[in-house]
Each structure stands twice: as C-alpha cells, then as structure tokens.
Amino acid sequence: MIVGHPCFDIDPWSLVENELPLDMLPHAESLFALSNGHIGWRGTLDEGEPHGLPGSYLNGVYELRPLPYAEAGYGYPESGQTVINVTNGKIIRLLVDDEPFDVRYGTLVSHRRVLDLRAGVLRREVVWTSPAGRTVRVRSTRIVSLTQRAVAAVRYEVEPLDGPARLVLQSELVANEELPVHQGDPRAAATPVDALVSDLNKASDTRVTLVHTVRRSGLRVAAGMDHFTEVYDEQGQAQTDVLGSQIESEPDLGRFTTGGLLKPGQTLRLTKFVAHGWSASRSLPAVRDQVDAALAAAGFGGWDALAAEQRACLDDFWRGADVEIDGDEEIQQAVRFALFQLYQAAVRAESRAIPAKGLTGDGYDGHAFWDTESFVLQVLSYLDAPSVAHALRWRHSTLPAARERAEQLGLAGSAFPWRTIAGEECSAYWPAGTAAFHVNADVADAVIRYVRASGDAEFARKEGLELLVATARMWVSLGHTDQGGEFRIAGVTGPDEYSAISDDNVYTNLMAQQNLLAAVEFASRHPEEAAELGITDEETESWTAAAQAMHVPYDAELGVHPQSDAFTYHERWDFEATKAEDYPLLLRYPYFQLYRTQVVKQADLVLALHLRSDSFTAEEKQRDFDYYEPLTVRDSSLSACSQAVIAAETGCASLAYDYLGEAALMDIDDLERNTADGLHLASLAGSWIALVAGFGGMRHTAAGLSFAPRLPDGWNRLCFGLVLEGGLLRVDVRPDKVGYRFTGEGGLSLTHHGSEVRVEPGTPLILPAWQPSERAAPSQPPGRVPAHRVADSVRRDAEGDAAGGS
C-alpha cells in the first residue's frame, strides 16, 4: 500500500484506487485527471455527484477579471486571466427503478478505479445496491484522445445482478455548473461565475451541440456529444427492441436519455463521444462545424479504433521515456505516473501554454509560470521534443505582449510575464511577479536545451534566435556596468520568493550570462536572420562584454555564494520558534519579515548549482549546499528535486533519496494538502530530474553530455532513456556497472565520470560503476526534514529482523 492513503494500491503501470473515501474525492479527481494538452477532464465520478470540482478545461480558454488595487500604480496589470470550467461532457447519470445512482446512498458494495498508464484510460467498476434493494454492476472507461485532439469519450455499461431492473441513462452536456469558492489560499483560483453566454443549442437524433461565448474575454467555445447504444447478453450477442431514447437541449444543457427493462445477464452499453473546440476569431458556424466534424470522425472509427490509437501512441512514448527501477516499487509507480501526466499535459497543447497544474485543476488560476520552461520542458526535451517545440512557439507567439511589457517598464527587448494564460502579465504583486525577471533567462535556457537535445536547426534559426535576442536585449537594459567594470543586475526577485527586490541574485545573473552568450552564438550561426532582427556587431559585442563581466557575489569570509548581494548578512529566521503548523510561512507571516531574514522558500542558489553546474567547483557546490540546507523550508513543490540533484552530487545519496520521494509523491500522497486544486506538474517533472540528473548524474552543457551515475543504498538498477537528435540513448545503471546503448545514426560521444567515451549505434558500452562514499548530510530546518526512505530490500530485511527478534 502507498504510505499516503490505504485506498491506493501499488502497481508498476497503474494508479489503483480500491475504495472510495468521500473526503478524498477532490484529491482523487486531480490524480485521475485525463488530458491531451488541449482538453482536460478531472477524474470526477461519471454521475457527476458528489464532486470536489467538476473540472472540464480547454487550454487557452479564460475569463478576464479586474485586478483591484488600494492605490493605483504605473505599470500595474489592470486585469487578470482565469481558467474557466467549460461545458462538462463527462456526466452520465444512472437511474435504477427510479432510484438515482449516488454513492452516498444505498450500499456501495465495491468500488475500484484504475488509471492505466499504458492504455491511457481511466477505468471504473462499481457494484451498488440501491436504497430499494436492487443491485447493479457499473463499468465505465474514459478516454481523452491523444491522437484526435478535440475528442474525448466514455464507454458506460450497466447490468442488473439480482433481478430485472428498469435502467435509464441520462448523458449530459452542462454549462455554467456551480463551483466551489476558494478562500484564504493565494495558490487557489478566483472562480468566475456564469462565465458562459449561450449562442446556440441544437439537438437532433443522438447528437447535441452547445456553443457559448465567454462573457468578458469574448472567446467562443463549443461542445458536442453523440451516442451509440446497445444491449447484449452474456455471450456478447446484441439484443434488439429493448431500448427507447430521446434527445433535448436548452441554452446550458444538452441531454440524451436511453433505457429499458433489463434482466440479469443483459448489459446496457452506452458509448459517448464528446468534442470540444474554441476560437478567439472564428465565427459561430465555424466553431460549431469543427465540433460536429470531430464527432463524426470519432464515430466513423468507433470506440475500438480510438482505444487502439491511444495505446499505440503511448507505446511509442514509453519506448523512449520509460524509467525502470529495481529497488523501490512505490517510486517506480510514482515516476511512471509523473511521466504520463507530463506527456498528456503537453502532447496536443500545440502552441498553447502548459499551465503549472496542466489541465487537472484550477489552481493558480490556470496560469503558466517559469515552472514550464525550467522543469517540465527540461524533462520533455529528452522525451518528447515535438511538444517542447510547440511550448516554445507559444512563448514566441507572446513576444508582442512581452515587448509591450518591457517598453512599459522602460526596458529593451522583451519582459515575459511571471504568470499568464494568453501572454499578458497577470500578477498584481510586484515583488514576486514582475520583479522575477529570471523568467526571461528560463525561457532562454529552455531554448538552448531543446536545440541541444533535438538538433532542430530550423527552430534555432527562426523562433529560437528571436527568443534569445529579445531576452538578451532585456538583460543589457536591465543591468549596468559599475565603476569597477563588473556587470550588475539590481532590484530583482530570484526563484526564492521569500527574498525580493535583491541585487545580483546569483541564479538570475548566471542564467542571464548563459542567455547573453547563447544569443551571440545563435546570431553568429545565422547571420541573415540576425540581420533581419537588426542585430549589429556592436550589439553582440555588448552582450559578450556583459556576460564576461557578470558579477557573481561571493562571501569570502564564509566561503559560500550568497543567494544575492548581502544575503548572508541578514538575520537568520527563528526556525526553532516556528511551529509545524506555521508552514507554509507565506500563509502565516508578513512578507516583510520573510524578505529581511535568511529563510529560503525554494531552491535558488542550489538550483543555480544544477542548471549552471559548470560555473562552480566541486568544493563550492558542497559548501553552498551545506549552507543553504538549514535555511530552506521547501514551501514550494519546486524545491525537493533540485535539492535531490545536488545532494546526490555532493555525496549525500541518502538525503537525495529522501528528496526524490518527496518530489515523486507530492501529489499521490498530497504532501502539500492542495492537490485538490490540480497536480504539481513541476514536482512531477522533478521526480525524473531527481532520478536522471541526481542518481544518473546527467549534465548537458556546451561542453557536451556527461553522466556520473550512483545508486541509492539497496537499489539494484536504474534505467532511463534520452531521445537525442532522433536517436535513443538508454542508460542502465547497476551497482557494479553502467551500460550505454544508442540507437540512431552515427555514434554518440559522452563523458562517464570524467572520462570521454563514445557509444556506437547498436553496440552496448559497459563501463565500471563508481559508488562514492556517503558523507554526513547537512541538517534541515526543524520540522522540515524530508520523510526518510529506504529501499524495498532494506525495509524487508529490517522487518524480517524485527519479526525474528520478537
């Protein structure tokens, strides 16, 4: 059983819920969410109630809301963008002899849900006895198609078990559902009310189409559903003349009803296809026709074809992406769950953002942050390059808004927003919003990594170059050269949101340095395109000069890098006086107190140790890591994976394993108690990062690809894949050896524990493993020590010893 809750079983390729605790419904809805990057369906029950949050989303569909200020200020964003719950097509209500199927009434004999990570479907099986005493079995399977972007589907089957029953199914499309109101947590959403204004409702035969306009943003959304029904016996033979049906629609509701009198041994099957679409510019007929065409295409192929396409798509993904672990079954399940969720969040996003929660909930108002580029795209660059290209093209499409924002702030180039859906800044809070200019460097970092991993020369020549140039121009206008000739960047907020408006944040400066040098490199590589962007030799020389003169603060007395200038001179936070219930600190203390003390919300300097690994010596990394561990409270889910990476690199493998567990189980175990608002995609990405960059020791810099693998105590194997320039590299780490196998054109050069080697196609390269000695780990703030993990074999041995001793 998973430690977090006994209702979940461990399975290497599924997330299995074996009972239905009603208090966990909102949590489970996020875990069982299905998406394709365009459509998102939370894992609500088929019958719609009870629920925590209905949750049907279309990527890019939002409502505008005013951002009120007690006192206006120049440059403050005037309106925010909030994801909305669009028309819900998941609902299928069941009545058994006039009794509505509701798990809160009657007797729930059994209930089981399975998220199948290979088939890409959510299955449910229920045995329920109605208050009147009639027992039925219900089976459903839900798909959000990874191949047919606009399509989702449900197959719903019900059979009476203990006597004849009159069964009625009501399949619905519902708009403007009542939603819960979030209070007291800034990470939750501001819920729009009645955001959809009806434009059209139409019902005919077995199909309903609804079209709405979002009240303030003006976006047009459409949803349609179509149905296929049958009754079959125990031998699978179709029964005729059993069912009746009717269809109806109104502005916010479409309903298809079917049913009949069934005997034990007969099963009523309803196959429901749902299509979603939206546009900011196309006409009502065009959006309606798009949805109708998607329904027709899905119906022509049928359920079996849709399910087969889904499986084939995921088979292709898992061939390159799978991570195999021999040593911890719980982490094995969690990392596959994480990779599945990352893939389905991005695969059909197609030039739209990847929000921090994906399309699994309305947390953070559905906004995209730097989480996407620095964590999600860091993983997908090596597992699903096309989705990364789409995500970066979305950023590129928002350059006009970023340039306008930069001009408003008195800067050159572009200033990408801290949080957004459509490209405009939606953060009303300056210190942790606009001042976090590092998002520019994070976008540049994602461009550099994607081109390095994929070899996509066309993207590099066009969108990649323009993104690097626009961000580089911002840095030279934001920073300045001091009297000593050093380039400084003042008044910014780094990744740690408990420090704001700081000078020379090390992470920001080093990432800006990389950004500037990459802009020079790309411009020199593509001179014609550079000339079209107005780049001159004088400008590239200024970028090179700024990068070479970049100031990186260092406290010589302590022998560590301050997170930013003077950070190590601040008073330390009084951790001993801080109660466990006071975390996260942002909900209990004024930011003023946080900003003026040494307390770190999330990895900042430590993240720089990872992403700019080539800028630090091994000794500096160890001293810096040891200094920041006792200060880092991990009030952000972004932190654990970065701490895992550097803990592993600096010889604290056991601590790295603990942080891996925290990153991997963030949502399954609901560690921050807010998974109900949606999954933490960056933490899910962090489980792969902790494994591959931490225990795999992978770094991919301008110098090339390198590995320094090591295994946690008790593990027998870690195997992972990287898709590089169309080829696949599999890295197989054992306690005594490491194997590299490359399938692709030409060979692949890499570094193994500091030695340069070459892997030839189809010829495994086996090298000796190196297991460094474990050093004493630095301490963490009181009450913030990560949960200790041990390998399965170590745990079983300990349990055996305990049993023998008793």
447: nearest Cα among 513, 514, 507:
514
Q: Do 473 and 413 contact (CB within 8 A), yes or no?
A: yes
Taking the C-alpha atoms of residue 779 and residue 789, their distance in angstroms, rounded to an integer, is: 16
Q: Do 433 and 419 contact (CB within 8 A), yes or no?
A: yes
| Active site (annotated) includes residue 424 | no
Confirm whether residue 371 is marked as ligand binding. Answer: yes
Angle made by CA atoms 295, 297, 301, in degrees to the nearest 5: 115
Taking the C-alpha atoms of residue 688 and residue 184, their distance in angstroms, rounded to an integer, is: 32
CA distances for 614 relative to 510, 629, 641, 699, angstroms: 10, 21, 19, 9
Residue 778, burial from CB neighbour count under 10 angstroms (0-12, 13-18, 19+): middle
Amino acid at 264: P
Contacts 24+ apart (CB under 8 A), 108-112: 108/20, 109/135, 111/17, 111/19, 111/20, 112/16, 112/17, 112/18
Taking the C-alpha atoms of residue 67 and residue 52, their distance in angstroms, rounded to an integer, is: 27
The dihedral through the CA atoms of 20, 26, 30, 36 has a sign that is positive
What tokens were used for 509?
């400066």
What is the distance, to the nearest Å, from the Cα of residue 392 to the centroid of all Cα atoms in its chain?
Answer: 15
Catalytic residue among 63, 373, 425, 497: 497
Residues 6 or more apart whose Cβ sits within 8 Å of residue 164: 261, 262, 263, 264
What is the distance, to the nearest Å, from the Cα of residue 748 to the centroid of all Cα atoms in its chain?
Answer: 30
DSSP per-residue letters across 337-387: HHHHHHHHHHTTT-SS---TTTTS--GGGG-B-THIIIIIHHHHTTT-HHH
Confirm whether residue 601 is marked as ligand binding. Answer: yes
Lookup result for tokens 């921050």: 672
The two beta strands, 737-743 and 765-768, are antiparallel
CA distances for 552 relative to 203, 211, 337, angstroms: 65, 55, 39
Q: Specify the DSSP class assigned to residue 420.
A: B
DSSP per-residue letters across 532-577: HTT--HHHHHHHHHHHHTB----BTTTTB--SSTTGGGSEEP--TT
Q: For 22, list phi and psi in degrees, rounded to 5.
A: -65, -30
Q: Do 126 and 132 contact (CB within 8 A), yes or no?
A: no
Q: Within 10 A of 708 (CB to CB), how many other CB atoms are there?
A: 18
3-class DSSP state for residue 137?
Answer: strand
Taking the C-alpha atoms of residue 341 and residue 146, their distance in angstroms, rounded to an integer, is: 12
CA distances for 555 relative to 560, 566, 603, 614, 627, angstroms: 5, 9, 19, 19, 12
What is the distance, to the nearest Å, from the Cα of residue 564 to the centroid of all Cα atoms in its chain?
Answer: 29
Q: Within 10 A of 185 (CB to CB), how many other CB atoms are there?
A: 14
Q: Do 585 and 625 contact (CB within 8 A), yes or no?
A: no
Question: What radius of gyration do the chain's Cα atoms show?
Answer: 27
Q: For 411, list phi and psi in degrees, rounded to 5.
A: -120, 160
End-to-end CA distance of the chain: 24
Taking the C-alpha atoms of residue 511 and residue 268, their distance in angstroms, rounded to an integer, is: 59
Question: Which residues are annotated binding-site positions for substrate?
Answer: 370-371, 601-602
Question: Which residues are annotated binding-site positions?
Answer: 370-371, 601-602
Name the residues annotated as catalytic: 497
